[in-house]
Amino acid sequence: MSTTADGGARIAALYQERILEHYRHPRHKGALARATGTRGEKNPLCGDAVAVAVYVVDGIVQEAAWTGTGCSIMQATASMLMEFVPGQSREAIEGFGRRFDAMLASGAPDDALGELAALVGVAPFAARHKCARLPWKALLGAVGDGGR
């Protein structure tokens, strides 16, 4: 096996490890008492359901939390996303969402997405893209609802 193949396998294993870590030990899961916006989203085809709550001040996300059930991809995405968005504006979040979609479409990691780049491992599985996008959809709705 070539060094490139070995390196690719190690990177894929690291990505999988990060996804499983967030699935097993989710961050920012629970209610957000002082939420200024909330949004729930469901995927009726697979049963994933997520609700995102945000606390926004002057157009900047201060805190974000989520609740929900579903597959490891959806839950890991929600966990990583809630860590990523504090300090971001709606416009920045929308831009990062486009980058995330492009990453899934291309299969090339995007370092600007921080730990969310680990979800590039989902790229080859088109049926799982909806799982990874569901928390983003809920987040954008929550920020839109509560972006005062």
What are the domain boundaries of the chain?
A: 3-146
Residue 88's identity, in one-letter code, is: Q
Q: Please, are residues 76 and 19 in contact by the beta-carbon 8 Å criterion?
A: yes
Distance CA 131, CA 67 (A): 15
Distance CA 8, CA 67 (A): 33
For 8-64, what is each residue's pLDDT tens digit?
566 566 668 888 887 899 899 999 999 999 999 999 888 999 999 999 999 999 999
Q: What is the pTM of this model?
A: 0.88
Three-class SS state of 53: strand
Three-class SS state of 25: coil
Q: Which fold has domain 3-146?
A: Sufe protein. Chain: A (3.90.1010)
In sequence order, what are the residues at sequence separation of 6 or more whose Cβ sits closer than 8 angstroms to the Cβ of residue 46?
70, 71, 130, 131
